[in-house]
Amino acid sequence: MAEPIVRIQGLKSWYGKGRERKQVLRGVTLDLAPGEVLGVVGESGSGKSTLAKCVLGMVTDIEGTLHVDSQRPQMVFQDPYGSLNPAKTVGWILEEPLRAIGVRDRAQRRRRAAELLSMVGLEEEHLGRRPAQLSGGQRQRVAIAAALMQGSKLIVLDEPVSALDVTLQAQILRLLAQLKEQLGLSYLFISHDLTVVYQLCDRVAVMTGGEIVEQGDVDEIYDRPKHPYTKKLLEASLALD
């Protein structure tokens, strides 16, 4: 197997300082191979987003091994209303990652923005729009395009389709799968929805109370869950369907 793009061993993390200091991750170990999609599932508060933030370097109070072998990993957030600057146009939002890495040539930035916009299934006319003038699904497409502008190979997706209705979810998941193939991306895909994870992920890690209790290939885990917590999650999700 190739060198993993993310290698995490015994990762612990804390929020707060002094007396308020509270541990969230309690020894997480996982690898993410290049080109792989790893799902992280677990109940609310189990530490999924915290794990994501650690990978992106947004949590600094950590212990253990955290090795990320990718230039500027990017993130796609759950709520596309909040992740796009309401005061800016789509074009500006897409160009900003290029400005940040020093691409001075405006025409080049525009070209690249238009290119990625079409890759996520939007038209060039959308460049002049503001986020408020787009639908929820279109906004999430813009957010995905923005995350890809710097050419990052590792994308962390924190509940990227949870705010969308089921048909839109399917479209966005298909888009993500397609972009992954096209650009050779790796995803750390966080979700509480096991059905969604099943559609997109190669492997899945089950998290509860800041620990990963079970991980493995999606088929393996879904067919023969070993840990009681995984069984409980699967039963709950089947009961919903």
Partner 1 sequence: MRRKNWYLIVGAVLTASMLAFTAVGFFWTPYEPSAMSAADKYAKPCAAHLFGCDQLGRDILSRTLEGAGATLAIALAVLAVGALAGLAVGALCGYHGGAADALVMRLCDAVAAFPSVLLALVVLAVTGPGKYNVIAALGVLFVPSFARLVRGEFLKYRDRDFVRSAKLIGVSDLRIIFVHILPNIWPVLLSGLTIGFNNAVLAEASMSYLGIGVSATEPSLGYLLKDAQGYLFTAPWYTAFPAAAIVLLILGVSLLGEGVRERMGVGT
Ligand X SMILES: Nc1ncnc2c1ncn2[C@@H]1O[C@H](COP(=O)(O)OP(=O)(O)OP(=O)(O)O)[C@@H](O)[C@H]1O
- If 0-12 CB within 10 Å is exposed, 13-18 middle and 19+ buried, where does residue 180 land? middle
Q: Which of 6, 13, 39, 49 binds Mg ion (CB under 5 A)?
A: 49
- Closer to Mg ion by CB, 31 or 79: give it: 79
- The footprint of ligand X on residues 157-196 (CB under 6 A) is 192
Q: Work out how close the CB of 102 gets to partner 1 at its nearest, in angstroms, rounded to a whole number.
A: 10
Q: Which of 89, 150, 171, 199 binds partner 1 (CB under 8 A)?
A: 150
Distance of CA 63 to the CA centre of its chain: 22
User: How far is the C-alpha of 45 from the C-alpha of 207, rounded, in Å?
Assistant: 10
Q: Work out how close the CB of 82 gets to ligand X at its nearest, in angstroms, rounded to a whole number.
A: 14
**CB-based contact 190:90 (threshold 8 Å):** no
Count of residues binding partner 1 (CB under 8 A)? 24
Token duo for residue 89:
């146009």
Q: Work out how close the CB of 83 gets to ligand X at its nearest, in angstroms, rounded to a whole number.
A: 15
Give CA separation, 139 vs 87, 93, 102, 121, 171, in Å: 14, 11, 25, 11, 13
Stretch in the footprint of partner 1 (CB under 8 A) among 1-9, 93-101, 167-175, 188-196: 93-101
Token duo for residue 114:
């238009």
Residue 196: closest CA among 29, 36, 30, 40: 40
Contact between 75 and partner 1 by CB under 8 A: the answer reads: yes
Question: What is the DSSP pairing of strand 6-15 with strand 203-208?
Answer: unpaired
Q: Work out how close the CB of 74 gets to partner 1 at its nearest, in angstroms, rounded to a whole number.
A: 6
- The footprint of ligand X on residues 2-61 (CB under 6 A) is 15-16, 24, 42, 44-50
Q: Which of 69, 79, 202, 220 binds partner 1 (CB under 8 A)?
A: 79
Contact between 180 and partner 1 by CB under 8 A: the answer reads: no
User: How far is the C-alpha of 164 from the C-alpha of 136, rounded, in Å?
Assistant: 7
Contact between 130 and partner 1 by CB under 8 A: the answer reads: no
Residue 98: closest CA among 143, 156, 160, 147: 147
Token duo for residue 182:
């096209």
Residues that bind ligand X (CB under 6 A): 15-16, 24, 42, 44-50, 192
Binding site for partner 1 (CB under 8 A): 56, 58, 72-75, 77, 79, 82-88, 96-97, 100-101, 143, 146-147, 149-150
Chain residues that interact with Mg ion, rule: CB under 5 A = 49
